[in-house]
Structure 1
Amino acid sequence: MNLHEYQAKELLKRYSVPVQEGIACSTPGEAEEAYRQIHTQYGSKFAVVKAQIHAGGRGKGKIVGKEQRGVAVGKNATEVKDIAQNLLGGTLVTIQTGEAGKVVNKVLVAQDVYYDGPNPVKEFYLSILLDRAKGQNVIMYSTEGGMDIEEVAHNTPEKIFKEWVHPGGPLQPFQARKIAFNLGLSGEANKNCVKFVTSLYNAYSGLDCGMLEINPLFKTSDDKIIAVDCKMNVDDSSLTRHPDVATMRDLAEEDPTEVEAGKFNLNFVKLDGNVGCMVNGAGLAMATMDMIQLSGGSPANFLDVGGSASAKTVEAGFRIILQDPKVKAILINIFGGIVRGDRVAQGIIDAYNSIGDIKIPIIVRLQGTNAEEGKQLLDESGLKVQSAIKLSEAADLVAKAVKA
C-alpha cells in the first residue's frame, strides 16, 4: 500500500525521524492558514506547496492546461493560496504518472529548510528496500540527491553506495557510521546522520515497509539531517498488524478495477494487453499469461480467483475483466483442486446472462474436480463459449481470437 508524503512523514515522526514539518490541506483557504501557522511556529520566510499524489517527479510535473508545477514556493499567504488553487482539483502529469496524470486532492504546505546558517546546505539520496537476490534489506544512498537520481544511477553508478542488512537484525552502529562517512559528513552533521539512518531503518522494519525512499535527505545550514520528501510503501500482508496505517489507504489513487476486485477478495492486477484471463492459483496464472504471450496476444490482467471461488466470485471477476475496452478475448483456465469446475461454469453462465450480449470470444479450459460437469453446464447453456481440454488447444483459440 502506497502512502502520501504527509502520511509517511507522520509515521516517521513516531520513530523519531526528523522531517520537514508541514500541514496537509484540502482547500486553498486551508493552505493560506497553514502558511500563517508555519510562519509563526518556525519563522519560515516562505513555504513549499507540494501536490500529494502517489507518483514521483512532482517538481518537474505540470498541471494539465496550466504552467503550475507540482511543487512550488510561496513567499506569502496569498501566493501559497494561489498555488494551492492551481493545484487542487487539477490533473498533475509527471514522468511517473504517464499522460493520464493524477488528480490532486490534497497539498502539503511545508516549512522552509533553506534558512541561513553557518554551513552550506546539501541534498543527499537514501532509500531502503529488499534485495531479493541476496535475501537482505539494502540501504542505497548517494551524495547526489534531488530530482534527477535516476540519471545519477544511469550515468554515474559509482556514486550509488549500498549497505546490506540482515532482515532478522537491526542496522549495526558501524554501518550507520559508514553511511555518514561515505556521504562526506563530519562533526555534528555526521552524528545527526548516524541517528537519522538508525531511526529510519527502525521505521522501515517496524512499519513492515516494502520500500522507503528519502529524496532529498537534507543537511541544513546548522547541520541538522532531515527528510524533506518521503515515499513509503507498506506490505499489504502486514496491515492486520498496523490497523492505523490501513486507514490511511487512499482509494482515489488506486485503479478502480483493482479496488473493486479487492471487495471480492480477488487477486487482480491490471495490465496493458488485449486478452483477459481468469485463473485459480498464482503459478497457473503466470503460466497462462506466458501462454497468451506466446500465442500472439498480450495479457490484459492478472486475476487469481483463489481456491475457494464461488459462482458469485467468478461472476465478479468476469465483470471486472469486461470493463477493460482493450480486451479482445477472455481465457478462463481453471484446474479444479479445491475449486469445483461446475461452480466456475455456473459463475460464467450467471455473468453471461446478467451482462447480456457479449461481443468478444470467451475460451474456457476446465480440468480437475467436476470438470466434466462444468463442461456439460456450459455446453447446455447455449452460450457462445469455446471450450478446450488441453492448454495447447486454448492457446490456438486465443491466437485466432487476437488475430480476428
Structure 2
Amino acid sequence: MKLHEYQAKRIFAEAGIPTPDSRLATSVDEAVDAGRDLGYPVAVKAQVHVGGRGKAGGIEIASDEAELRDAADAILGMDLKGYTVDRVLVESAVDFVDELYLGVTMDRGEGEPVVMVSSEGGVDIETVAEETPEAIAREHVDPAFGLHPYQARKAVYGAGIPDDAARAVTSVLQTLYDLWESNDASETEINPLMVTSEGDVVAADAVLNVDDDALFRHSDLAELEEESYTDDLERKAGEYGFDYVRLSGNVGIIGNGAGLVMTTLDLVDYYGGAPANFLDIGGGAKAERVANALDMVFSDPNVDSVVFNIFGGITRGDEVARGINDALEQFDEIPKPVVVRLAGTNATEGMEILNTELVQVEETLEGAVQRAVANAEEVAE
C-alpha cells in the first residue's frame, strides 16, 4: 500500500523527522486559505502516486496569493501521468543550501535491508544509480540487530555529507530505518532531504510504502488505505483484492500470477504496444473474480484493447472462460476488443466454452499479444 506524501509526512513528523508546515487542499479556495495560514512563499504539490511530479508540472512555488491561486488552479484536475489530481499539499517553502537523498528498502539479492544515502537529492535515484552509482553510499543491515549507529554514520560520511549536517542526517536516517522496520514497509524514502544554511535538515518529501500482507498488524495504516487511493480504478482494485498498477499505455493486461503478467507486459512492449496496466487476478480465480477483472480494465478510459493470459495450475480454464462469458454478456456492445489465451488445466474445455462471438482466441501467448497490439492500433486510429 502506497501512502500519499501528506500521509507519510504526518507519520514522519510524529517520529521526530522535521517536515515543513503544510495544509491539504482539495480546491483552489482551500489552497489560498492554506497560503494565508502558512505565509509565503509556499510549495503547491500534487498528491498522486507517481514520481517526477516537478518535471511534469505537478509542483509549483508561489510567492504570493495570486501565484498560489494560479498554481492550484493549474494543478488541481490536471492529468499527471494518467492520474487525475484531486488534492494538493500546500506547504511552507524551505530555504536550503543542499539536497540529499535517504532511503531504506529490501535488497532481495542480498536478502537484507539496505539503507542508502546520496548527496545528489532532488533527482530520481534510479538515474543517479545508473549514471553515477558511486554517489550512493549503501549499508546492509542485519534485521536481527537493526541499524547500528556506526552503520548510519558510515553511510552518511560515505556519501560525503558535510560535517555541519552529518549529525542531523544520521539521526534522520536511523529514524527512517526504524519507521521502515516498525511499519513493515517495503520502502521508506526522503528525496530531497533539504539542508539549511544553519545545518538543519527538513524532509521536503516523504515516501512510505507498506507491505499489504502486514496491514493486519497495523490498523492505523489500514485505515488510510481508502484515503490513499488516487482514483476510482485503484479503489476498485482494493475492493476486489487485486494486485493492480496503472500504467500509461492502451493495451489492458490480465493474467494469473505476477510472473505471467510481467511476461505479457514485456511482450506487449516487444511487439510495439504500450501496456495500460499490471493486473494479477491470482491463482484459483473463479468466474466472479474474472468478471471483476474485466470490469476493472474496461473502466480505464486509456484502454483500447485487452489481452487475457491464463495458465491453468490452480486456476481452471473452464472457470476462467465462464467468467469471461459472464462479464461480456452483460454488455449490449463489447467496449474493447478482447483476446484470450488459455493454457494448462482444463484449457481445452475452456476454449470450447468461450463465446467466440464476444472474444478473439489465440493458442499462443505471442499470437495473443500481437493481436491485442494490432487491435489497440486499429482502435486508436
CA distance in 1, matches of 2:351, 2:291: 17
Q: Corresponding residue for 1:20? A: 20
Q: Corresponding residue for 2:89? A: 107
1:52 maps to a residue whose letter is A
Q: Corresponding residue for 1:43? A: none
CA separation of 1:104/1:327 partners in 2, compared to 1, >3 Å: closer, same or farther?
A: closer
CA contact (8 A) 1:26 1:106 kept: yes
CA distance in 2, matches of 1:130, 1:337: 30
Which residue of the other structure, out of 279, 283, 307, is the alignment partner of 2:255? 279
CA distance in 1, matches of 2:277, 2:294: 12
Q: Corresponding residue for 1:245? A: 221
Q: Confirm whether residue 161 of structure 1 aligns to residue 130 of structure 2.
A: no
Residues 4-403 of structure 1 aligned to structure 2 (within 5 Å)? 4-27=4-27, 30-31=30-31, 34-35=34-35, 37-38=37-38, 46-54=40-48, 55-62=50-57, 70-74=59-63, 79=64, 81-91=65-75, 97-98=80-81, 102-103=84-85, 105-110=87-92, 112-113=94-95, 121-146=97-122, 156-182=132-158, 183-186=160-163, 189-249=165-225, 254=230, 256-271=232-247, 276-287=252-263, 300-323=276-299, 330-358=306-334, 360=337, 362-365=339-342, 367-369=344-346, 371=347, 373-378=349-354, 383-385=357-359, 391-392=363-364, 395-396=366-367, 399=370, 402-403=373-374
CA distance in 2, matches of 1:31, 1:323: 31
- Structure 1, 102-111 or 124-133: larger mean CA deviation: 102-111
SS of the aligned residue for 1:62 comes to coil
Quote how far apart the aligned CAs of 1:11 are. 0.4
- Structure 1, 175-184 or 149-158: larger mean CA deviation: 149-158
CA distance in 1, matches of 2:369, 2:140: 45
CA contact (8 A) 1:62 1:92 kept: no
CA distance in 2, matches of 1:317, 1:186: 54
Gaps in structure 1 of 5+ consecutive residues: 40-45, 64-69, 115-120
Quote how far apart the aligned CAs of 1:85 are. 2.1
Q: Confirm whether residue 3 of structure 1 aligns to residue 8 of structure 2.
A: no
CA separation of 1:332/1:113 partners in 2, compared to 1, >3 Å: closer, same or farther?
A: closer
CA separation of 1:242/1:287 partners in 2, compared to 1, >3 Å: closer, same or farther?
A: same
Q: Deviations over 1:26-56 (max 9, x none)?
A: 45555555456546xxxxxx44233132344
SS of the aligned residue for 2:357 comes to coil
SS of the aligned residue for 1:17 comes to coil
Quote how far apart the aligned CAs of 1:132 are. 2.4
2:22 maps to a residue whose letter is G
Structure label with greater radius of gyration: 1
Gaps in structure 2 of 5+ consecutive residues: 376-381
Quote how far apart the aligned CAs of 1:383 are. 3.4
CA contact (8 A) 2:41 2:93 kept: yes
1:6 maps to a residue whose letter is Y
CA contact (8 A) 2:267 2:369 kept: no
CA separation of 1:252/1:222 partners in 2, compared to 1, >3 Å: closer, same or farther?
A: closer
1:108 maps to a residue whose letter is V
- Structure 1, 126-135 or 52-61: larger mean CA deviation: 52-61
CA contact (8 A) 2:99 2:119 kept: yes
CA contact (8 A) 1:91 1:102 kept: no
Matched-pair identity in %: 36
Quote how far apart the aligned CAs of 1:172 are. 0.8
1:368 maps to a residue whose letter is T
Q: Deviations over 1:337-375 (max 9, x none)?
A: 444443322222222221133373543525425x55544
CA separation of 1:292/1:71 partners in 2, compared to 1, >3 Å: closer, same or farther?
A: closer
CA separation of 1:85/1:243 partners in 2, compared to 1, >3 Å: closer, same or farther?
A: farther
RMSD of aligned C-alpha atoms? Answer: 3.9
CA contact (8 A) 1:261 1:316 kept: no
2:60 maps to a residue whose letter is V
CA separation of 1:397/1:286 partners in 2, compared to 1, >3 Å: closer, same or farther?
A: closer
CA separation of 1:19/1:338 partners in 2, compared to 1, >3 Å: closer, same or farther?
A: same
Alignment size in residue pairs: 372
TM-score (norm. length: structure 1): 0.74
CA distance in 2, matches of 1:29, 1:271: 31
Q: Corresponding residue for 2:378? A: none
